[in-house]
A and B are shown apart, each in its own frame.
Chain A
Amino acid sequence: MGRTSKDKRDVYYRLAKENGWRARSAFKLLQLDEEFHLFQGVTRAVDLCAAPGSWSQVLSQKIGGQGSGHVVAVDLQAMAPLPGVLQIQGDITQLSTAKEIIQHFEGRPADLVVCDGAPDVTGLHDVDEYMQAQLLLAALNIATHVLKPGGCFVAKIFRGRDVTLIYSQLRVFFSSVLCAKPRSSRNSSIEAFAVCQGYDPPEGFLPDLTKPLLDHSYDPDFNQLDGPTRIIVPFVTCGDLSSYDSDRSYPLDLEDGSEYKYTPPTQPPISPPYQEACTLKKKGRLAKEIRPQDCPISTADTLSQPLAASQRHTLLASEVEDNEMNCSP
Chain B
Amino acid sequence: MEAHEDYVWPRATSELILLPVTGLECVGDRLLAGEGPDVLVYSLDFGGHLRMMKRVQNLLGHYLIHGFRVRPEPNGDLDSEAMVAVFGSKGLRIVKVSWGQGRFRELWRSGLWNMTDWIWDARWLEGNMALALGHNSVVLYDPVVGCMLQEVPCTDRCTLSSACLIGDTWKELTIVAGAVSNQLLVWYPAAALIDNKPVAPDRRVSGHVGVIFSMSYLESKGLLATASEDRSVRVWKVGDLRVPGGRVQNIGHCFGHSARVWQVKLLENYLISAGEDCVCLVWSHEGEILQAFRGHQGRGIRAIAAHERQAWVVTGGDDSGIRLWHLVGRGYPGSGVSALCFKSRSRPGTLKAVTLAGSWRLLAVTDTGALYLYDLEVKCWEQLLEDKRFQSYCLLEAAPGPEGFGLCAMANGEGRVKVVPINTPTAAVDLTLFRGKVHSLSWALRGYEELLLLASGPGGVVACLEISAAPSGKAIFVKERCRYLLPPSKQRWHTCSAFLPPGDFLVCGDRRGSVLLFPSRPALLKDLGVGGKAGAIAGALGAGSSSEGAETASTEWGPVSALPSLHGKQGVTSVTCHGGYVYTTGRDGAYYQLFVRGGQLQPVLRQKSCRGMNWVAGLRMVADGSMVILGFHANEFVVWSPRSHEKLHIVNCGGGHRSWAFSDTEAAMAFAYLKDGDVMLYRALGGCTRPHVILRESLHGREITCVKRVGTITLGPEFEVPSFMQPDHVEPGSEGPGLTDIVITCSEDTTVCVLALPTVTGSAHALTAVCNHISSVRALAVWGIGTPGGPQDPRPGLTAHVVSAGGRAEMHCFSIMVTPDPSTPSRLACHVMHLSSHRLDEYWDRQRNRHRMVKVDPETRYMSLAVCELDRPGLGPLVAAACSDGAVRLFLLQDSGRRLQLLAETFHHKRCVLKVHSFTHEAPNQRRRLFLCSAATDGSLAFWDLTTVLDHGSAALEPPADAGLPYRLGAPCLTLQAHSCGVNSLHTLPTREGHLVASGSEDGSLHVFVLAVEAPELEEAMGGAELVPQLRVLEEYSVPCAHAAHVTGLKILSPSLMVSASIDQRLTFWRLGHGEPTFMNSTVYHVPDVADMDCWPVSPEFGHRCALGGQGLEVYNWYD
Contacts and interface: CB of A to CB of B under 8 A. Distances in A.
Given A228-B1082, A229-B1, A297-B337, 18 more contacts: A4-B855, A120-B211, A126-B89, A159-B1004, A161-B1088, A163-B1045, A226-B1082, A228-B2, A232-B1044, A245-B912, A248-B884, A290-B288, A300-B340, A307-B331, A325-B48, A327-B49, A327-B324, A328-B49
Contacts of A200: none
Lowest 4 A-B CB distances belong to which pairs?
A: A273-B210, A125-B1088, A306-B333, A277-B231
A250 interface: yes
- For chain A, the bracket of interface size reads 35 or more
A160 interface: yes
A293 B50 contact: no
Contact of B937 (A120, A248, A319): A248
8 contacts: A124-B22, A124-B64, A249-B912, A273-B208, A292-B335, A292-B682, A295-B330, A324-B48
Contact of B158 (A93, A274, A289, A297): A93
Nearest to B693: A327
B14 interface: no
B291 A289 contact: yes
A8 B229 contact: no
A123 B299 contact: yes
Contacts of B854: 2, 4, 252, 260, 262
B270 A313 contact: yes
Nearest to B232: A277
Contacts of A206: none
Nearest to A316: B311
Nearest to B309: A319
Interface string A81-109: 00000000001010000000000000000
Nearest to B1110: A125
Interface of B: 1-3, 7, 20, 22, 45, 48-50, 62-64, 88-90, 114, 116-118, 134-135, 157-159, 161, 180-181, 198, 208-211, 213, 228-232, 254-258, 260, 262, 267-270, 276, 281, 283-284, 287-292, 299-300, 302, 308-311, 318, 324, 326-341, 376, 379, 650-652, 681-683, 691, 693-695, 697, 854-861, 884-886, 911-912, 914, 937-939, 980-982, 984, 1002-1005, 1040-1041, 1043-1046, 1063-1066, 1079, 1081-1084, 1088-1089, 1111
A235 interface: yes
Contact of B341 (A5, A262, A300): A300
A159 B1045 contact: yes
A184 to B, nearest CB: 12
A298 B339 contact: yes
Nearest to B341: A299
Nearest to A6: B859
Contacts of A190: 1045-1046, 1063, 1089
A249 B1082 contact: no
A272 B281 CA distance: 24
Contacts of A203: none
A297 B336 contact: yes
A129 to B, nearest CB: 8
A225 B159 CA distance: 25
A212 interface: yes
A251 B857 contact: yes
Contacts of B1004: 159, 232, 235
Contacts of B135: 134, 212, 214
A289 B290 CA distance: 6
Contacts of A298: 338-339
Nearest to B294: A289
Interface stretch (A53-61, A66-74, A148-156, A279-287): A279-287
A138 B324 CA distance: 41
A48 B287 CA distance: 40
Contacts of A307: 330-336
A326 B46 CA distance: 10
B294 to A, nearest CB: 10
Contacts of A241: 938
Contact of B1089 (A125, A138, A289): A125
Given A126-B63, A190-B1063, A288-B289, A315 B268 contact: yes
Query: Chain A contact residues: over half helix, strand or loop, or mixed?
Result: loop
B695 A247 contact: no
B230 A273 contact: yes
Contacts, number: 331
A248 B334 contact: no
B230 A274 contact: yes
Contacts of A138: 159
Contacts of A237: 939, 980-981, 1003
Query: Chain B contact residues: over half helix, strand or loop, or mixed?
Result: loop
A8 B228 contact: no
A315 B269 contact: yes
B1044 A159 contact: yes
B284 A187 contact: no
Contacts of B318: 123
A71 B503 CA distance: 82
Interface of A: 2, 4-5, 8-9, 76, 91, 93, 120, 122-126, 130-131, 134-135, 138, 159-161, 163-164, 167, 181, 183, 187, 190, 210-212, 214, 217, 225-230, 232-237, 241, 245, 247-253, 260, 262, 271, 273-277, 280-281, 285-303, 306-310, 312-313, 315-316, 319-320, 323-329
Given A126-B63, A273-B228, A313 B693 contact: no
Given A289-B281, A307-B335, A320-B311, A8 B1044 contact: no
A319 B857 contact: no
Contact of B911 (A9, A245, A293, A323): A245
Nearest to B253: A276
Contacts of A248: 858, 884-886, 911-912, 937
A19 B198 CA distance: 49
A264 B187 CA distance: 47
Contact of A292 (B114, B337, B885): B337
B157 A93 contact: yes
Contacts of B981: 181, 183, 187, 237
A277 B1005 contact: no
Given A289-B289, A293-B651, A326 B159 contact: no
A275 B210 CA distance: 10
A294 B90 CA distance: 48
A130 B980 CA distance: 28
Contacts of A124: 20, 22, 64, 302
A214 B135 CA distance: 9
A176 B1071 CA distance: 31
Given A130-B118, A232-B1044, A290-B288, A328 B50 contact: yes
B830 to A, nearest CB: 18
Nearest to A315: B269
Contacts of B939: 237
Contacts of B159: 93, 131, 134-135, 138, 212
Contacts of A164: 1044, 1064
B310 A281 contact: no
Contacts of A229: 1
A8 B209 contact: no
A297 to B, nearest CB: 5
A164 B1044 CA distance: 7
A91 B159 CA distance: 11
B304 to A, nearest CB: 15
B331 A295 contact: yes
B269 A247 contact: no
Given A124-B302, A159-B1063, A130 B89 contact: yes
A307 B332 CA distance: 7
A310 B291 CA distance: 13
Contact of A252 (B181, B651, B856): B856
Contacts of B228: 273
Contacts of A308: 330
Contacts of A288: 256, 289
B858 A245 contact: no
Contacts of B327: 316
Contacts of A280: 255
